[in-house]
Structure formats: structure tokens, C-alpha cells
């Protein structure tokens, strides 16, 4: 306890001294890349309050960098363009392998679960009945909804199907509602966030095992004191911070650990299911 | 048949011009507003409907361009956002997206909580033929998702394009727009109505300003004669109207000036007539009254209007035609006016026939055809009555028993200006000796300066006062003068005179003084009397009670009336029922003997008197007769007991002597009987002797006792020797050596007392036993005393017997076997108490009795005898 206090005090002194240096030299800038799940405007609306809060706390200037689609985004983080990046779990593995990105925080409330839904009135009761049918997915490399789900369907359930990538989770669910796909892959969070009238017409057929949710990662070139400051700032028990992080799908931010949270994904060999160049 | 239109027009034409203008303006405004309003409403509704159609068509074109790409990509999420944005627009009720082949891809409809979206499967609709369709409240606008137009060209709806690429249908309601248009029209109409109303009101005000002054001038002109001199103020009006007003004002003032001059003359004359104190009557040549002033009404008691027309002779005796002419003919002739004035005193008749004296002045107006004579009548009743009353008051004051004098307050030192005969009689001065002098003529040495100062202060302050002064008559004789002084004020409130009324109250004061002295004496007697008195007044209220009365019955309650006292007093009685009510006791005036239990047991003698001296008072008289009744009772009881005790041995003597006289007995028997007679005779003798001793002691209370200092031992030894009889076994064990005590005593009486006590000791020891005697000194209540104890071992007494042993004739031995009179111990106590001593007994039944005689020790140590009285 005493040691922890000493450590906290030292960190605080470091942060203060760094902050003082930064003030004398002017705040240095960091770039943040966010996986393009939402339109750029929506991404900015959700993330700007968070970056401003971190900037005030850690005396840094964080600038958002937008990507029009996933391939562009992947290309950027694989090239180490972002100082900070918010990625899906498989992207986390890719970024770590490619550039040594370190996960700082992730949501600790619910694990990331992929769901497979069918129409409420559909006669399909088992996964095997989906063989030969069309299944809608948001994107080929979406981790929970597509990548992880397709790997499990094929590898563990031996289901052969035709994937139809329809850009978004909402489109995937609506394709099932409209009868244009027998099933759709998504994640539990987006499924529960759907409009009631859509959700009432769907039925969950299958759920993947839980995986650690999207992490906020930092490039190893970023000073550890800054990384620690960001981690401590986002994980502090404060209603204000909780409100901000809820908007970026981290209701309860906790400190992330690559070895514990994301390294197990390496064993799944998801590379086989990655579609390079896909949006 | 009258044409109603014509009649109405005529009626309207007769209305004031202002009303006509207002009515025509109002009707015109209503007609114009109705026509314009109805046309504008129709146009406005049509415009709202057309705008809605244009808006819906334009919206469908814009939405089609946005939705085209997502439709091709089946991006339902984007389409859903678009559709929901459209539904949120005002008036949009539903949006339907149809893909090529006329199959519905998505349809959304406005709902209460936002919108609902449906994705029907394989639902198809017909291809629309025109860009829009509309009904009463809705418009359906259609737009193909793609148009084959060049840049800058307007997209025109073509059914074949819609069928090929799909289309969007927007259903829009324009009922809200129509309602809003209607609402706007109503608001505008109301505002227009209000504006026109305000304009008409302004017009009305203007017309009032224009026509109002003309109406006022007309009314003013009509009222000009009734209100001359009044001026009209033109607040507003045209130049012509103001000139007309000025002309009318000038005319009004001219008329007013002339009328005022005339009225002033009439008013002056009227005022003279109305305020005249004398009656002024106008009489025609035929003798009838033509006019009368208010004074005539007041004097004759007949209203003015009722006098007019009646003959003058009805009110004034002899004033008929000939009488009037004669009075004028005999009147005085005045050269200045060349006319005659008749003056005469006659009797007039008032309403009701009462005659009263009047003075009449009669003048003639020859030229007046209406009124020929003017008659001025002056009522002489008050003058004559005042003269009579003045005479009466003067006589009354002269005849008054009290002396009355008047002093002049305006002069110093206020001299007498009038004195009546009684004043002269009381003071002894003649009127001429009084008048001109002041009150000091009556003062003398004993006249109290304080009373005079009080009188002076009262006079100075203008008040009135009654005071009794010690004054002196002319010859110097003192008398008590009850003087009452009252001021007399004039009309201004100023004191002009003082009325002095005097009364000789010397006799009254002397009687009052005597009465006070007598009352004081009676009160002292009343208070000191041992008998109780209580006096109740005529109404039964307690007036007074003396201390003895309160001592007998206790404190009388404060609320006590005679009736309540009677009830309360009966509660004090031992037997309330035997106590007669006071009302009954008053009637027979008999004395009552009443025993009361509270506040202390007493026997009271009550006597009641009423109407003493005619004042109606009730006097209760109570006398305490407790002691007297008790003495009477004791005497009666003693006599009865003594007679009984005397009769018993006498009966025995008489019985045995009678037997000896009439029968023969042997000698022994005779001797025995004679011994009995002798014994009873001796007993009788002793009884009588003791009675005589008691009687003597009681009667003389020790005055015959020769009390001197004696050695107690000598007295005791004499008594013991006197009773000792060794043969009979009567021996007294005297405790030796006896103390040498010197007591104050009558030796003979003390010896008699000791003998009685020793005799009793032997008598009540029938079975023998030791009788012993012991002498000792002791203290009683702080004084040295000698005690002689005589004890026996006889039968003794019970506590009850012991408690009664000093009663006269009481015998502890009720059997009669022990001889005795029952007076011995009582005699011993009487002797002891006369010596300031006492005798006490203590006894135990069956064991014996101890009698103790206590005697006071003598202060002297010598044996020189000293008498008790010394």
C-alpha cells in the first residue's frame, strides 16, 4: 500500500514535471485513429469530448484522423501512422504484431460476443440447417460479427454458407427482416441497440464465446508516462469520465493487458478468414 | 296599405343626423368586410392546398435523389434514416420506397410515438401515372428514383422511368395548412372587425363633437327664460356654433339683469312683510281679507291661505265695512301724505275662539282697487301677561318664609338691592337698613372664616353654594343661617346679580346635637348591656346588633335578613322544632325560653318587639338565663334528695313508736325497738347537723372560719384521739414522727374534716383492717403544702363509685348496712376548698381507699394566731 502510494506520488511528480516542461515547450500532438464503425461525423461527436479530457489531464493535444474504410484504416495502423488507435480485438493482434502497439484500456463490463440471428418466423433451429444459405455480415474483417463468427461456423460447426457483406450491422439485420438473407452476423451490443420493431422480427440462433472488447492502444514510441497518464485518467472512478467513455462503448474502462486479453486470439489463426482489401 | 320600405325610410330620415351617418357607415362596413372576407378565405385555402402539393412533389424529387444509391446498395440503414427524417417533416404522413419491378422495399408511417417502419416481402403496387394525386386533405407525390435529364433541366415525372428504376411515394396531409389558413383568416377578420369598430367609435366621437354643441345650444335657448343669466361654455365647436353661443350668453345676461332688479324690489318688500313682528293684513273695500303676512298666521293661529277670503271682522272685532270706514274717519290726519291713520285697541279672536287684546293701526289705499285698507295688528297678550306675572312673582317673593335678598354682582362689595320681608324678619334689620349694605352686616366673631372664604371663592367662580353660617341679628343674637347663593346671568352669560336665600336653622341644629348625644348614650348602653339586642329594619334587613348578642349566638352572617336569621337561629337550637318562628312570637309578645347548642350550650330568654315608635323595626332581645336555670335545677334536686333522706329514718322512728304505743312487747323487745328508734334519731340528727353545716358554709363562704396558723400535728392528734376507741377496735396507725408543719387553718373545721375521713375509713372497713395516717410536706402549683393521707384496707370502690363519691347524698354502700348520710365527703371538700386546699380519693375495689387532704402551709413560723381575714 505504502509502495503504491510512493509510486503514485512519483508518477504524479513525473506527470507534473512533464506537464510543466510541456507547458514551457507547448503541448505535443498525438494522432488517434478510430476504427470506422460509424460515419466520421458520428465518430467525432463521440470521441472529441474524450480526447479533450485526456488532453487536459495529460497536457497533450490529440487529433483525430479519419479513415474512409477499414482497409485504409488497417493500412494506417499497420504502418504505425497513429500514435493512439481504437481497434477491434483482431486488429489489436495485427497492430501488436506489426508495430508493437500496446493496449491501454478496454471496456470491462461485458465481453465482446458475436451473435447469429435469423428471422423470427424462420424454420431454422440449428446451425447445420444454415448450410448452403446466404448469411449477411457487416464486413469481412469485422471481428465479432464476421471474422470470429465465420471462423467458428466453418471450423467448429462445419457450416458452409454464402457470405453477403452489407456494410453495417443494421443492414445485416434488415436483410434478414427483408428476407434477403437466411441469417445475419452481428454483435450483442449492436443487436440490443437495434430498434425494437426490428429486434422483434429477429431471433438469436447462436452466440460466440466472449472475447475482450475493443482496446485503445498506444504506439510504443509514446512515452510511458503519457501512456500511464491516459490509462489512469480513463480508468479513474469519476461520473464525468464514465459518461464520456460510455459514448465510445466503454461503460466501465479497465486497464487492458495484451497477454491476458488479446494474445489468446493469436491461436485462432484468423488470418485465414481475413479478406484483404475488403471494406 | 303602407309600404314598409317607405315607412322605414321615413322613420330613418327622422332620426338625428349623427345617428343616420353612423348607421350608414356601419352597414357599409359590414357589407364590405363580408364580401372581401369570403373572397380572401377562398383564395387563401386554395393557395395553402397548392403550396402543399408543390411542397410534396419537390420533397419527393429531393428524397428520390438521396435514396437512389442506398436503394441500389440495399443499404437499409441509410434508407431508414432518410425515411425517418422525412416522416419528421411537418405534414408528411407516410413514405414508401419501391424498387424496380414495383416491389415495395420499405414503407414507413407516422405514429403516435414517432414512426413505424416495415419491410414487406414481395409486396407490389401499381405504377403511378402522374406526379401526384390528391383528395380533400391529402396529396400523394411520386418521384422516380432516377431521371434521364440533362443538366439544368427540370425532372418531369414519367411512369416508365418509375417502373424501371423504382420510385418514392410521399403522402402528405395539408389539413394542418388549411386549418392554419383558416385560423389566420379568422384572426385577420377579428382584427379588421375591431379596427372598423374603433373607426366607427372615432367617427361617433367626432359626430358628437360636431352635433353635441348644437343640441346644447338648443337646450340652452329653450331654458333661457327659466334660468336667466346662465352662461353656456362651448368646449368644442365650429366657429359658427361658438358665435351662436356668445349671442345666446349675451341675451341671457341681459334678461337676468332685468329680472334681478325686479326680484330685489319684490324680495325687499317680501322680507319686510315676512319678518314683521306685527300682523299686516290687506283688506278689500268689502271687508274681506286679501293678503296676510306670516306674523298674521302666528298671531291668529290660522294659515295665511285660509285667512284670505274671510271677513276681517272674523278676526278683529268690529272691523266690518262700516267699522273700517269709521276707524279711518276717526284716525289721525297726516299732512305729509294727506291720509288718515286709525289707531285703536280692540279684542281679536284667535283660532278656536280665544280672545286676546290687540293694538290696530289702519291705513287706507284709495287708488288700489284690490286692497283698500292695510291693517297692522300688534298682539298685546304677552305684554299684559308679563305685567301680571311680574306682579305675581313680586308677591310670591314677598310672601316667602325664607329670607330672600338680591345683591348686585357688578358692584363691589356687592350691595343688597332687594330684601323681602322674611329676610328682614330673620336678620332683624329693616329694609332700608339692609339695602346698600353687603353680607358683612350679618357677620360676627363666631362666623367661620373658612366658610366665608368658601363663599367668596364660589362667588368669584360664578357657582352656586349652600352653606350654614353663624350669623348675627341686628341685636347681636347669634343664629345659624342656612344660606343658599345662586348667580343670575344676563343674555350674554355675564353674572349680574346673586340671589341669597337664608333660613334660620338654629332650632334644627340644636335638636340635631341633642339627638347625637342621646344616640351616643344609647349606643354605649346598648354595647355595655349584658343582654343581647338585634335590630332589623322595616324591610327585615339587619340594622345593628350589640356585642352581647353576638357573644350569645355567634357571628351573624353578613347576608342576614330577619327571615334568614330566624332560619339560621333555629339551626343553633337544641330542638329546632320547639323554637317558635319570630313572626309567631311577635304576635303574642310572649317571652320564650330557648336552649341553644351552638356556639356554646346556653339557655336564652327571647323577647321580640315590632313597630316600635312606628318605624316598623323589629327588635330581638336575648337574655342569658343559663346560670339561673341551673341553680333552680340544683335546688329542686337537692330539696327532693334531702326530703327523701330525712323521711327514711323518720319513717322508721314513727313505725317503731307506733308499734310500741299500740302493741305490747316484752322488755327485751321493747329495748331493742327503742334502740333502733334511738339510732335512727341519731342518724336524723347527724343528717340535719351536716345539712346545717353545709348550708352555713355555703351561705357564709367561710366568713365565720377563724383561719390562723396552727401546728398540723396538734390538729391531727386531736382528731385521732377523738375517734380512737380501743375497746371497739378502732385504732389509727399514725406514722411517727410527724413533720412539724404549720398550716393556715380553722382547727375545729379541719379536725371535723379529718374525723369524717377517719370515720369513713373505719365504716367502710367492716371486716377490720388497719387504718393508717401519714403527714408529709409537698409542693402544689409551686407552693408548699401539707398532705394528710388516711388509708384503709376496707371494701374499696369501683371507678364509677369513685367518680360520684363527692355528690351529696351519694352512698357507695347502697345496701344501707353501713350507716351514713352521704354528705360527709361533700362537707370535707367544702371545708378544704375554703382553706384553699382540696381533698382527693384513690381507691381500688376490694383493696382499700386512700383519702388525701391538702392544706396550704403558713408563711409564718411563729405560733402567733393570725386571722384569715387579716
The answer to whether B103 contacts chain A (CB < 8 Å) is no
Query: Most B CBs within 10 Å: which of A38, A170, A279, as the mutation test of the B interface?
Result: A170
Which segment of A85-99, A143-157, B208-222 scores lowest on mean pLDDT? B208-222
Cα angle value B655/B658/B662 (rounded, 5°): 140
CB contact under 8 A, B74 and A168: no
Predicted confidence (pLDDT) per residue in B50-65, tens digit: 888 999 998 998 899 8
Strand B138-144 to B167-173 pairing = antiparallel
pLDDT at A80: 94
CB contact under 8 A, A170 and B121: no
CB contacts of A166 in chain B (<8 Å) are 74-75
How many Å apart are CA B41 and CA B186, to the nearest integer?
9
Cα–Cα distances in Å, from B810 out to A231, B821, B822, B823?
A: 135, 8, 5, 8
Torsion angle defined by CA atoms of residues B488, B491, B495 and B496, in that order, rounded to the nearest 10 degrees: -80
Q: Are B823 and B687 in contact (CB under 8 A)?
A: yes
pLDDT at B207: 83
CB contacts of A167 in chain B (<8 Å) are 73, 75, 77
Beta strands in B473-612 (DSSP E): 478-489, 495-504, 532-536, 542-545, 592-596, 602-610
How far from chain centre, in Å, is Cα B608?
Answer: 40
Strand B114-118 to A215-218 pairing = unpaired
The answer to whether B334 contacts chain A (CB < 8 Å) is no
Q: Is B447 helix (H, G, I), strand (E, B) or coil?
A: coil
Predicted confidence (pLDDT) per residue in A210-257, tens digit: 889 999 999 999 999 999 999 999 999 889 999 999 999 898 999 999
ipTM of the complex, rounded to two decimals: 0.73
pLDDT over 60 at A8, yes or no: no
| C-alpha cell recorded at residue B864 | 402567733
Quote the DSSP letter at residue B441: G
How many Å apart are CA B363 and CA B332, to the nearest integer?
10
Count, residues in chain A = 279
For residues A3-30, give the mean pLDDT. Answer: 47
Cα angle value A49/A53/A54 (rounded, 5°): 120
| C-alpha cell recorded at residue B867 | 386571722
Predicted confidence (pLDDT) per residue in B289-307, tens digit: 998 888 888 888 888 888 8
Measured on CA atoms in the order A190, A194, A200, A202, is the torsion positive or negative? negative
Strand B838-844 to B771-780 pairing = unpaired
| C-alpha cell recorded at residue B678 | 334511738
CB contact under 8 A, B77 and A171: yes
Among A249, A198, A255, which Cα is nearest to A50's? A249
B91-106 burial, b at 16+ Cβ within 10 Å, e below that, comes to bbbbbbbbbbebebbb
Measured on CA atoms in the order B33, B35, B41, B44, is the torsion positive or negative? negative
Q: Are A116 and A204 in contact (CB under 8 A)?
A: yes
Measured on CA atoms in the order B753, B759, B765, B769, is the torsion positive or negative? positive
Q: How confident is the model at residue B1 (pLDDT cuts 50, 70, 90)?
A: low
Nearest-Cα distance to chain B for A235, in Å, is 34
Count, residues in chain B = 870
How many Å apart are CA B471 and CA B509, to the nearest integer?
14
Predicted confidence (pLDDT) per residue in B446-504, tens digit: 898 988 888 888 888 888 889 899 999 988 889 999 999 999 988 888 889 999 999 98
Q: Are A77 and A34 in contact (CB under 8 A)?
A: no
CB contacts of B117 in chain A (<8 Å) are 195, 197-198
Q: What is the 3-state secondary structure (H, E, C) of B231-242?
A: CCCCCCCCHHHH
Among B17, B35, B33, B15, which Cα is nearest to B197's? B33
Residue A172: count of CB within 10 angstroms of its CB? 30
pLDDT over 80 at B688, yes or no: yes
Q: Enumerate residues 6+ apart whose C-beta is below 8 A from B827.
A: B690, B693, B694, B697, B752, B753, B756
Q: How confident is the model at residue A278 (pLDDT cuts 50, 70, 90)?
A: low
Q: pTM of the full predicted structure? A: 0.41
> Strands across the sheet with B138-144, in order?
B114-118, B103-111, B92-99, B167-173, B138-144, B132-134
The answer to whether B76 contacts chain A (CB < 8 Å) is yes
Cα angle value A146/A152/A158 (rounded, 5°): 120
pLDDT at B171: 94
One DSSP character per residue, A107-152 reads E-SS-B-EEEEEETT----SGGGGTTSEEEES-TT-IIIIIHHHHH
Q: Are B766 and B818 in contact (CB under 8 A)?
A: yes
Which segment of A154-158, B108-112, B493-497, B762-766 scores lowest on mean pLDDT? B762-766
pLDDT at A25: 44
Which segment of B466-480, B633-647, B679-693 scores lowest on mean pLDDT? B633-647
Q: Is B291 helix (H, G, I), strand (E, B) or coil?
A: strand
Q: Are B126 and B162 in contact (CB under 8 A)?
A: no
CB contacts of B119 in chain A (<8 Å) are 174, 177-179
Cis, bond preceding B599 (omega within 30 deg of 0): yes
Q: How confident is the model at residue B867 (pLDDT cuts 50, 70, 90)?
A: very low
Nearest-Cα distance to chain A for B73, in Å, is 8
Q: How confident is the model at residue A19 (pLDDT cuts 50, 70, 90)?
A: very low
pLDDT over 60 at B395, yes or no: yes
Predicted confidence (pLDDT) per residue in B156-196, tens digit: 888 888 888 899 999 999 888 888 888 988 898 889 889 88
Predicted confidence (pLDDT) per residue in B813-840, tens digit: 766 677 777 888 888 998 998 888 999 9
Q: Which of B73, B116, B119 sits opposite A178 (nearest CB)?
A: B119
pLDDT at B815: 67
Predicted confidence (pLDDT) per residue in B525-582, tens digit: 888 888 888 888 888 888 888 888 888 888 877 777 888 888 888 888 888 888 888 8
Among B839, B833, B836, B838, which Cα is nearest to B859's? B836
| C-alpha cell recorded at residue B428 | 332683624
Q: List all residues of chain A from 194 to 213 with a beta carbon under 8 Å from chain B.
A: 195, 197-198
CB contact under 8 A, A167 and B116: no
Predicted confidence (pLDDT) per residue in B256-283, tens digit: 888 888 888 888 888 888 888 889 999 9
Quote the DSSP letter at residue B486: E
pLDDT at A20: 40
pLDDT at B869: 33
For residues B675-701, give the mean pLDDT. Answer: 83
| C-alpha cell recorded at residue A214 | 475493443
Quote the DSSP letter at residue B154: P
Amino acid at each position: 500500500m505504502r509502495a503504491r502510494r510512493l509510486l503514485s506520488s512519483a508518477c504524479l511528480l513525473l506527470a507534473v514535471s512533464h506537464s510543466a516542461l510541456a507547458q514551457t515547450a507547448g503541448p505535443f500532438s498525438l494522432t488517434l485513429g478510430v476504427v470506422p464503425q460509424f460515419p466520421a461525423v458520428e465518430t467525432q461527436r463521440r470521441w472529441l469530448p474524450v480526447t479533450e479530457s485526456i488532453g487536459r489531464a495529460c497536457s497533450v493535444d490529440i487529433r483525430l484522423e479519419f479513415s474512409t474504410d477499414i482497409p485504409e484504416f488497417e493500412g494506417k495502423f499497420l504502418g504505425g501512422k497513429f500514435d493512439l488507435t481504437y481497434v477491434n480485438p483482431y486488429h489489436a493482434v495485427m497492430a501488436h504484431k506489426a508495430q508493437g502497439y500496446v493496449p491501454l484500456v478496454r471496456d470491462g463490463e461485458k465481453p465482446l460476443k458475436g451473435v447469429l440471428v435469423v428471422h423470427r418466423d424462420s424454420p431454422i433451429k440449428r446451425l447445420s440447417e444454415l448450410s448452403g444459405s446466404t448469411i449477411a455480415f457487416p464486413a469481412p474483417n469485422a471481428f465479432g460479427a464476421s471474422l470470429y463468427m465465420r471462423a467458428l461456423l466453418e471450423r467448429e460447426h462445419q457450416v458452409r454458407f454464402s457470405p453477403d457483406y452489407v456494410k453495417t450491422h443494421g443492414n445485416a439485420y434488415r436483410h434478414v427482416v427483408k428476407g434477403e438473407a437466411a441469417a445475419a452476423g452481428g454483435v450483442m451490443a449492436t443487436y440490443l441497440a437495434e430498434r425494437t420493431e426490428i429486434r422483434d422480427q429477429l431471433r438469436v440462433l447462436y452466440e460466440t464465446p466472449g472475447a475482450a472488447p475493443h482496446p485503445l492502444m498506444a504506439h510504443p514510441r509514446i512515452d510511458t508516462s503519457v501512456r500511464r497518464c491516459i490509462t489512469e485518467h480513463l480508468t479513474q472512478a469519476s461520473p464525468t469520465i464514465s459518461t464520456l467513455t460510455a459514448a465510445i462503448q466503454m461503460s466501465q474502462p479497465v486497464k487492458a493487458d495484451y497477454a491476458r486479453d488479446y494474445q489468446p486470439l493469436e491461436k485462432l489463426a484468423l488470418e485465414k478468414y481475413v479478406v484483404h482489401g475488403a471494406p | 296599405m303602407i309600404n314598409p320600405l317607405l315607412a322605414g325610410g321615413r322613420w330613418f330620415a327622422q332620426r338625428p343626423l349623427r345617428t343616420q351617418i353612423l348607421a350608414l357607415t356601419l352597414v357599409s362596413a359590414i357589407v364590405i368586410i363580408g364580401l372581401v372576407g369570403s373572397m380572401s378565405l377562398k383564395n387563401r385555402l386554395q393557395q395553402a392546398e397548392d403550396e402543399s402539393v408543390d411542397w410534396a412533389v419537390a420533397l419527393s424529387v429531393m428524397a428520390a435523389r438521396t435514396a437512389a444509391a442506398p436503394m441500389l446498395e440495399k443499404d437499409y440503414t441509410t434508407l431508414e434514416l432518410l425515411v425517418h427524417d422525412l416522416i419528421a417533416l411537418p405534414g408528411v404522413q407516410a413514405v414508401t420506397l419501391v424498387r424496380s419491378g414495383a416491389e415495395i422495399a420499405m414503407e414507413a408511417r407516422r405514429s403516435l410515438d414517432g414512426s413505424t417502419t416495415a419491410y414487406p416481402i414481395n409486396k407490389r403496387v401499381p405504377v403511378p401515372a402522374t406526379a401526384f394525386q390528391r383528395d380533400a386533405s391529402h396529396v400523394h407525390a411520386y418521384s422516380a428514383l432516377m431521371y434521364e435529364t440533362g443538366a439544368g433541366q427540370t425532372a418531369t415525372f414519367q411512369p416508365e422511368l418509375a417502373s424501371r428504376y423504382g420510385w418514392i411515394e410521399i403522402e402528405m396531409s395539408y389539413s394542418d395548412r388549411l386549418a392554419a389558413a383558416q385560423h389566420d383568416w379568422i384572426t385577420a377578420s377579428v382584427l379588421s372587425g375591431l379596427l372598423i369598430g374603433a373607426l366607427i367609435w372615432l367617427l361617433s366621437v367626432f359626430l358628437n363633437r360636431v352635433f353635441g354643441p348644437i343640441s346644447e345650444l338648443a337646450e340652452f335657448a329653450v331654458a333661457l327664460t327659466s334660468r336667466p343669466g346662465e352662461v353656456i361654455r362651448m368646449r368644442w365647436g365650429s366657429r359658427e356654433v361658438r358665435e351662436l353661443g356668445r349671442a345666446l350668453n349675451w341675451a341671457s345676461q341681459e334678461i337676468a339683469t332685468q329680472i334681478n332688479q325686479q326680484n330685489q324690489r319684490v324680495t325687499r318688500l317680501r322680507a319686510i312683510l315676512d319678518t314683521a313682528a306685527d300682523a299686516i293684513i290687506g283688506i278689500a273695500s268689502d271687508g274681506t281679507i286679501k293678503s296676510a303676512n306670516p306674523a298674521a298666521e302666528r298671531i291668529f293661529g290660522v294659515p295665511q291661505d285660509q285667512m284670505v277670503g274671510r271677513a276681517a271682522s272674523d278676526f278683529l272685532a268690529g272691523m266690518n265695512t262700516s267699522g273700517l270706514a269709521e276707524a279711518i274717519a276717526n284716525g289721525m290726519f297726516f299732512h305729509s301724505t294727506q291720509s288718515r291713520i286709525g289707531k285703536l285697541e280692540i279684542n281679536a279672536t284667535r283660532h278656536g275662539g280665544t280672545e286676546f287684546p290687540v293694538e290696530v293701526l289702519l291705513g287706507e289705499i284709495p287708488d288700489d282697487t284690490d286692497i283698500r285698507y292695510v291693517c297692522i295688528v300688534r298682539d298685546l297678550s304677552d305684554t299684559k301677561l308679563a305685567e301680571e306675572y311680574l306682579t305675581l312673582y313680586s308677591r310670591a317673593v314677598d310672601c316667602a318664609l325664607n329670607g330672600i335678598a338680591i345683591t348686585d354682582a357688578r358692584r363691589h362689595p356687592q350691595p343688597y338691592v332687594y330684601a323681602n320681608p322674611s329676610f328682614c324678619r330673620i336678620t332683624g334689620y329693616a329694609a332700608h337698613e339692609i339695602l346698600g349694605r353687603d353680607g358683612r352686616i350679618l357677620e360676627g366673631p363666631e362666623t367661620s372664616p373658612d366658610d366665608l372664604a368658601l363663599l367668596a371663592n364660589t362667588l368669584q367662580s360664578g357657582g352656586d353654594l349652600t352653606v350654614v353660617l353663624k350669623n348675627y341679628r341686628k341685636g347681636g343674637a347669634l343664629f345659624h343661617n342656612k344660606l343658599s347663593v345662586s348667580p343670575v346671568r344676563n343674555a350674554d352669560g355675564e353674572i349680574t346679580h346673586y340671589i341669597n336665600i337664608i333660613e334660620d336653622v338654629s332650632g334644627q341644629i340644636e335638636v340635631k346635637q341633642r339627638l347625637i348625644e342621646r344616640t351616643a348614650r344609647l349606643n354605649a348602653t346598648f354595647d355595655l348591656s349584658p343582654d343581647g339586642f338585634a335590630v332589623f329594619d322595616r324591610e327585615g334587613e339587619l340594622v345593628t346588633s350589640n356585642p352581647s348578642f353576638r357573644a350569645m349566638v355567634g357571628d351573624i352572617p353578613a347576608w342576614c335578613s330577619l327571615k334568614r336569621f330566624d332560619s339560621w337561629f333555629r339551626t343553633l337550637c337544641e330542638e329546632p322544632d320547639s323554637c317558635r318562628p319570630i313572626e309567631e312570637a311577635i304576635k303574642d309578645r310572649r317571652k320564650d325560653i330557648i336552649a341553644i347548642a351552638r356556639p356554646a350550650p346556653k339557655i336564652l330568654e327571647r323577647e321580640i318587639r315590632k313597630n316600635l315608635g312606628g318605624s316598623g323595626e323589629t327588635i330581638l332581645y336575648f337574655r342569658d338565663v343559663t346560670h339561673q336555670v341551673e341553680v333552680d335545677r340544683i335546688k329542686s334536686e337537692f330539696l327532693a334528695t334531702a326530703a327523701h333522706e330525712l323521711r327514711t329514718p323518720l319513717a322508721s322512728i314513727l313505725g317503731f313508736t307506733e308499734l310500741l304505743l299500740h302493741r305490747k312487747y316484752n322488755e327485751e323487745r321493747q329495748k331493742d325497738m327503742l334502740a333502733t328508734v334511738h339510732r335512727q334519731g341519731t342518724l336524723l340528727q347527724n343528717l340535719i347537723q351536716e345539712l346545717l353545716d353545709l348550708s352555713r358554709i355555703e351561705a357564709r363562704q367561710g366568713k365565720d372560719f377563724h383561719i390562723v396558723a396552727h401546728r398540723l400535728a396538734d390538729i391531727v392528734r386531736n382528731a385521732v384521739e377523738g375517734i380512737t376507741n380501743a375497746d371497739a377496735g378502732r385504732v389509727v396507725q399514725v406514722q411517727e414522727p410527724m413533720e412539724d408543719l404549720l398550716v393556715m387553718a380553722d382547727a375545729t373545721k379541719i379536725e371535723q374534716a379529718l374525723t369524717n375521713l377517719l370515720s369513713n375509713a373505719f365504716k367502710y372497713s367492716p371486716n377490720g383492717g388497719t387504718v393508717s395516717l401519714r403527714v408529709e410536706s409537698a409542693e402544689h402549683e409551686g407552693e408548699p403544702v401539707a398532705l394528710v393521707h388516711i388509708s384503709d384496707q376496707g371494701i374499696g370502690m369501683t371507678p364509677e363509685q369513685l367518680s360520684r363519691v363527692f355528690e351529696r347524698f351519694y352512698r357507695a354502700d347502697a345496701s344501707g348496712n353501713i350507716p351514713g348520710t352521704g354528705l360527709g365527703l361533700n362537707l370535707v371538700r367544702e371545708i378544704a376548698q375554703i382553706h384553699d386546699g382540696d381533698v382527693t380519693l384513690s381507691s381500688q375495689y376490694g383493696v382499700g381507699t386512700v383519702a388525701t387532704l391538702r392544706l396550704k402551709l403558713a408563711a409564718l413560723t411563729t405560733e402567733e394566731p393570725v386571722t384569715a381575714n387579716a
